[in-house]
Structure 1
Amino acid sequence: MALVLGAAILTVLLAGAYGVLARSRRWLAEPTGRSSHVTPTPSGAGIALVFALVAALLLGDAAPGPYALPLALGVGLALVGFVDDLRQLPAGLRLALYAAAAVLGTGWVIVGSGLVGLLAWLPLAFAVLAFTNFYNFMDGIDGLAALQCLSAAAAGAWLAAEAGAAPGYLFLCLALAGVHAGFLFHNRPPARLFMGDAGSIPTGFLLAVLAVAGPWREGLSPVCWPLLLALFVSDAGFTLLLRVARGAPLTEAHREHLYQRLARRWGSHGRVDGLFLAVQWAWLTPLAWFAAAEPSLAWLLLGLGYAPILLAMAKYRHLQ
C-alpha cells in the first residue's frame, strides 16, 4: 500500500507540474471533429506518469528485478510518444519502434524456454504490439484508460500474489496501479490533462508484457489477464474488424468505438466510466479470480467473460 500511495502522490505532483509547463508552452490538444473534448487541454502528460512510475519504484526500494528491461522499454516508448504528441511522427516509424519493443519485451519473457518459446515468440510479440495499439485507441474519453490500468494492474497484483509471483512482478503491477490512480486526479471527467501517446503507448505495452509474463513466468492462469483486459480488447478489436470489413483507412483517426458512441449518446464521459467499472469489477475480475482458482474451467470462463461483451458490441454497432 505504501508503494501504491507513494506512486499516486508522485503522479499527482509531477503531472500537475507538467500541466503548468504544458499550458505555458501551448502543448495543447485542440478539439477537432474526431475528438471527444471541447476545450484545448494539455496533452502528453503521460511522460510525467511514466517518470513517476520509475521514481516510485526507485524511491520505494521496490526493484523491478528482471522486469527492469520491460520497464526501460516502456520509458523509451514514453519518450517516443511524447515527441509524437508534440510533433506527429510518421506512422510507419512509430509502428516500427513499437514492434521492436514488442519483439524485445516478448523475447525477454520467453528466453530460455527452448523450441516452444521460439515458436511462440512472434505470435506473442504480435499480441503485445496489438494490445499496445488497442490501449492507445481506447484512450479517447476522460478517465477511461487510467481506470483500465488501475483496475487491471490492481487485480493482476492480487491474483499474482495468490499464485506466488516474484516480487518484481508484483511491484510493477502495484506501481502501475498507483500512478494511474494519481493520474485520475487530473484526468477524471472533466479532464484537466490528457496522457497522450506518451502515456497510453507505454502503459499498453507494460500491461501486455505483464499479461504474457503472468502465465509464462509467474504461474498465473493464461486467461486471467485476457479477462481483466476484455473490455479494451473487445471494443478495440471489434471496431478494427468492422473498419477492415468496409475498407476504412486503418491509420485514420475516428470516433467509432462503442465507448465513444456511448459518451456521445449519454452526453457524459463519467457514465461510460461508471459502466466500465461495473462490468470490470462485478463481472470480469470475479471471473478472472475463479479461473485462477479452478484451472479446469479457465477457458470456459474466458468465453463466458467475452461473450456478452461481444454480443453488446454487435448489437450496438450502429449506435451513433
Structure 2
Amino acid sequence: MFATLVGGIYTVAGGRVEFSAGFGTGAHGFAMMVVWGGLAVLAIVSFFDDALSLAPLWRLLVQIGVAAAIVKAVADLGVWQTAFAVLLMVWMVNLYNFMDGMDGFAAGMAVVGFGALSVVAKLQGAEAPAEGCAIVAGAALGFLFINFPPARLFMGDLGSTLLGALAGLMLLVFHQEGILPVWLGILIFSPFVVDATVTLIRRVLRGERFWEAHRQHYYQRLVRRGWGHRKTVLAEYVLMALTASSAVIANGLPLRLQWAIIGVWVLIYAVLMYAIDRTEPKENEAAPV
C-alpha cells in the first residue's frame, strides 16, 4: 500500500504545478480556492480509499459535489451545460480509476493526453495552459519509467483520481476558452472513454453489479487472451497517439470535418470491439485481473 500511495502523491505533484502554471495568473482568486479545495478533498478521500476501501456511493457523492463546485467556480454555464460539465468531470475521474488496472496504462494516457493538450494550446497561443499541460505530461512520463510493465511503483486511487479530475477540468477550460472543443478533447482520451463507457453500459444492461471489480474491460480481455500487459499497453499507446494526433489536426478544420473524423473513429472502435467480441472464447469474467 505504501508504494501505491507514494505513486499517487508523485503524480499529484505534477498536477499541482500544472494548475499553478495554467491558471495561477489569470483566474479569479476565489475560483482558484474552490479548485484547490476541491482537489484537496478528492485527494483526501482517495487517500483513505487506497487505505480503507471506502464505499463506492460515498466516493461518488463526494466526486459529484467537488465537480459541481469547481464547474460553478470556473465556468459560467446554463443548467444543462453545467450538468454535462459535472458529468464529464466525474466520468473522467472514474475513467482513470477504472482503467488504472494495467501497468503503465493510466500514466501513458496522461503522457499522450496532456501532451496533446499542450500542443493544441501552444498552437493556439495559449502559453500558460500549454506549459501546465506539458508539466503534467512530463511528470507522468517520469513516473512511467517505474510504472511500465513490469511496474515497480503503482499510481493508486489517489494518483488516478487527481489525473482524471485534471483532465476533466482541462477539457472544460479548453472548450470555454476556445482552445479546443470538448468533443475533440474527448477524442484525445477516447481509448479510456470508449472502453470504460461501453463496458459499463454492457454490464448495466446485463443487470450486473457494475460497481464491483471485474475483468471485462477490453484491455483486460486482451491480456487474458495472451497478449500480456506489455504488448497490450504498447498497442494502447499506438491507439492513443493516433486519436490524439487526429484531434490536434482536426482542431484547425471546419466543424463538419471535425465530426467526420470523429465518425471515422466511431467506426474504427466498433470494428475493434466487434473483433474482440467475435473471437474471444466464452469464459467466466467475474474475477478482476
TM interval, short-chain normalised:
0.7 to 0.9
> TM-score normalised to the size of structure 1?
0.78
- Pairing partner for 1:143 from 104, 124, 135: 104
- Pairing partner for 2:46 from 81, 96, 102: 81
Write out aligned runs for 1:260-271 (5 A): 260-271=220-231
Decide whether aligned partners of structure 1 residues 216 and 64 sit closer, same or farther in structure 2, where only a CA change above 3 A counts. closer
Residue of structure 1 in register with 2:168 after alignment: 208
% of aligned pairs identical? 31
Write out aligned runs for 1:109-258 (5 A): 109-111=74-76, 113=77, 117-165=78-126, 167=128, 169-258=129-218
1:50, 1:75 within 8 Å by CA — same for their partners in 2? no
**1:71 CA displacement:** 4.9
AA in 2 matched with 1:301: I
1:238, 1:313 within 8 Å by CA — same for their partners in 2? no
Give CA deviations for 1:63-99 in whole Å, capped at 9, x if unaligned: 6322845355334312211111011112221111111
**1:122 CA displacement:** 1.0
**1:166 CA displacement:** 5.4
Decide whether aligned partners of structure 1 residues 180 and 75 sit closer, same or farther in structure 2, where only a CA change above 3 A counts. farther
**1:311 CA displacement:** 2.7
Structure 2 residue 23 is matched with structure 1 residue 64: yes
Number of aligned positions between the proteins: 272
AA in 1 matched with 2:250: A
AA in 2 matched with 1:70: V
Residue of structure 2 in register with 1:98 after alignment: 63
- Structure 1 segments of 4 or more deviating over 6 A? none
Structure 2 residue 268 is matched with structure 1 residue 303: no
Q: Distance in 1 between matches of 2:10 and 2:50?
A: 13
Q: Distance in 2 between matches of 1:71 and 1:266?
A: 43
**1:139 CA displacement:** 0.6
Residue of structure 2 in register with 1:277 after alignment: 237
Gapped runs of 5+ residues in structure 1? 1-26, 29-41
**1:218 CA displacement:** 4.0
**1:53 CA displacement:** 3.7
Gapped runs of 5+ residues in structure 2? 282-289
> TM-score normalised to the size of structure 2?
0.86
RMSD of aligned C-alpha atoms? 2.1
Q: Distance in 1 between matches of 2:180 and 2:83?
A: 21
**1:172 CA displacement:** 2.8
Q: Distance in 2 between matches of 1:129 and 1:137?
A: 12
1:132, 1:208 within 8 Å by CA — same for their partners in 2? yes
